[in-house]
Structure 1
Amino acid sequence: MNLDSIERHSFAPVDHAYTARDAILYALGVGCGADPLDEADLGYVYEAGLKTVPSFVNVLAHPGFWAKDPRFGIDWIRILHGEQSFEIHAPIPPEGRVRGTYRIDAVEDLGADRGARLYQSKELHAVDGTHLATVRTVLFMRGDGGQGGFGSPAASPTPLPERAPDAVVETPTLPRQALIYRLSGDLNPIHADPAAARRAGFEAPILHGLCTLGIATRAVIAARAPGAPERLRSMSLRFSKPVFPGETILTEIFGTGGSLRFRCRAKERDIVVLDRGSAELL
């Protein structure tokens, strides 16, 4: 990779006008509306009194798949989402116009055989200047280790308690889940094209990590703040294994108050797919 080009890169601000239709499409992409009699879930997909799933901030003002640009020299086909966090500073309206400002905070070299981590952050503001959210992303660049780094990497999330969870939320996904979710902006072909997925080392297209994060967001709210997504202030997690569309996600939640820990497990394979999760509720 061209480390100097990555370090010097300055993103142009991304302006994004979105409608209630976009908020509903995102909600459908993370599985809302599966039960037509669930009135709390219906609030995300029905325009009467529409609410936004808080994790919607991850796709608003998205800069696109910038790492595919040849000038950065990144082995983009082997990129995986490593970690993600978001902090909500003000309510996210179901429609409006926002501006995202991005920066690359650090690249951490893990070694020639282990790859590298890239740390990126986004500040999301409404057009009136209201600070809506801060979003942080860690990309795992499997093919770009041993080439140096820069900046100060953020601390890694801590392990979960060694005990049984206090609550478990079961969420099925659809075989076409990734094809719906990608319409919210992430068009990486490994989520749709079987040939691209095989080139990246997967037997089939995988679900977007941010889609699984959205499923976990819904599960945490359903278990600890039903019908009140505005109570969620922040979430952070590590993506540990890919999910295949059609699998069932078990969200295991630790804690009963405002500070929670969680992880997600693919039920059919009994493996952890999201790990070291934390959530803060009002």
Structure 2
Amino acid sequence: MTINPDHLLNFPIPDVRQRLTRRDTILYALSVGLGQDPLDARQLDFVDQHRTLRVLPSMPVVLGHPGFWLLDPRTGVDAVRVVHGEQSVEILRPLPVEGEVIGRTRITGLVDKGAGRGALLYSEKQVIDAASGDVLALTRSTTFLRGDGGFGGPSGPVRPAHPMPEGAPEFVVDLPTRPEQALLYRLNGDDNPLHADPTFAEQAGFPRPILHGLCTLGVVAHALLRVLGDYDTTAFRSLDLRFSAPVLPGETIRTEIWRDGSFRARVLERDEIVVNNGHAVFERAPDGGPKR
């Protein structure tokens, strides 16, 4: 099946209305690794319902999530070979720990890289407070359609990547993942079989199910919140990153962070960069350093 660019650009993605509970908020934090250090009381604010519960700022990626809609054959996309390329999160208003939200996803662009080179699909999701109609957050994604390309679509524009600074990072944070973490993360509504089904993963060219890119993002966001925000969620404004390689559940993610908010991440077991060209914006302390 060949992509029809006009059809795909206008493909209807239904709004998703989600009743958000405190349990959902806790599940998300647990699914990206919060609470693994039993002696770090700061993490308990995200996973202990008996405390003043807080929302991890990366949670908008799963709120009102439309599911793996590219699996619909009407898109014309080779869904087996789809991978997550880039992701950003921008917080516009404080996130609720419970309530009702609406996820409104639309396709914003399509780039045909040519026959045998795949295509890029750009999309944006608004996370809307159902009661007030206020937009709480924006998430933007780039999906790499590895099995497509050469369908006569536009050749640009391609979003530029954030340039990485020269020199060594000022901060390094190592956070482990767990072997079953992708199965836990799927409970947030991101049910791509690539992260659970060994046969599907093999067909996609991977030795075994891989961790969701958005789960990797959650782990990295935790590291950024620790270093640049001192676990103050009100300091977080936005993050943007590019996925460069998959993480296998059970590997340790090392996030390397510069004082200007630039970051990248690698897995220690393979010394391979899995996130690159990252940039985060936090409210700054008066000296311009990480907020304390």
Q: Give the TM-score normalised by structure 1.
A: 0.96
Task: Tell me the amino acid that sits aligned with residue 273 of structure 1.
Answer: V
Task: Tell me the amino acid that sits aligned with residue 125 of structure 2.
Answer: K
Q: Report what 2:206 is aligned to.
A: 202
Q: How many Å separate the matches in 2 of 1:88 and 1:77?
A: 32
Task: Tell me the amino acid that sits aligned with residue 113 of structure 1.
Answer: G
- In structure 2, the gaps of 5 or more residues are 284-292
User: Secondary structure, in 3 states, of the residue corresponding to 1:244?
Assistant: coil
Q: Report what 1:51 is aligned to.
A: 54
CA contact (8 A) 2:112 2:156 kept: no
Q: Report what 2:169 is aligned to.
A: 165
Which runs of structure 2 are paired with 1:84-123 in the superposition (5 Å)? Answer: 84-123=87-126
Worse overlay, 5-14 or 52-61? 5-14
CA contact (8 A) 2:178 2:250 kept: yes
Q: 1:153 to 1:95 in 2, by over 3 A?
A: farther
2:80 is the alignment partner of 1:77: yes
Post-superposition offset of 1:150? 4.6
Q: Report what 1:19 is aligned to.
A: 21
CA contact (8 A) 1:126 1:132 kept: yes
Worse overlay, 123-132 or 109-118? 123-132
Q: How many Å separate the matches in 1 of 2:158 and 2:124?
A: 11
Q: Report what 1:63 is aligned to.
A: 66
- In structure 1, the gaps of 5 or more residues are none
CA contact (8 A) 1:106 1:150 kept: no
Task: Tell me the amino acid that sits aligned with residue 251 of structure 1.
Answer: T
CA contact (8 A) 1:32 1:41 kept: yes
Worse overlay, 84-93 or 96-105? 96-105
CA contact (8 A) 1:115 1:145 kept: yes
Q: How many Å separate the matches in 2 of 1:169 and 1:248?
A: 10
Post-superposition offset of 1:50? 0.6
Q: How many Å separate the matches in 1 of 2:113 and 2:154?
A: 12
2:156 is the alignment partner of 1:155: no
Q: 1:151 to 1:106 in 2, by over 3 A?
A: farther
- Cα deviation per residue 1:181-221 (whole Å; 9 max; x = unaligned)? 11111111110111111000000110000000000100001
Q: Report what 1:9 is aligned to.
A: 11
Q: How many Å separate the matches in 1 of 2:108 and 2:154?
A: 8
Q: How many Å separate the matches in 2 of 1:122 and 1:273?
A: 24
Q: 1:102 to 1:152 in 2, by over 3 A?
A: farther
CA contact (8 A) 2:112 2:155 kept: no
1:142 to 135, 143, 146: 146
Post-superposition offset of 1:123? 1.2
Q: Give the TM-score normalised by structure 2.
A: 0.93
Q: How many Å separate the matches in 1 of 2:139 and 2:168?
A: 30
Q: How many Å separate the matches in 1 of 2:258 and 2:101?
A: 34
User: Secondary structure, in 3 states, of the residue corresponding to 1:133?
Assistant: strand
Task: Tell me the amino acid that sits aligned with residue 216 of structure 1.
Answer: V
2:127 is the alignment partner of 1:124: yes
Aligned length: 279
Post-superposition offset of 1:39? 1.0
Between the two proteins, what is the percent identity of the paired residues?
49
User: Secondary structure, in 3 states, of the residue corresponding to 1:111?
Assistant: coil
Post-superposition offset of 1:64? 1.3
2:269 is the alignment partner of 1:268: yes
CA contact (8 A) 2:11 2:75 kept: no
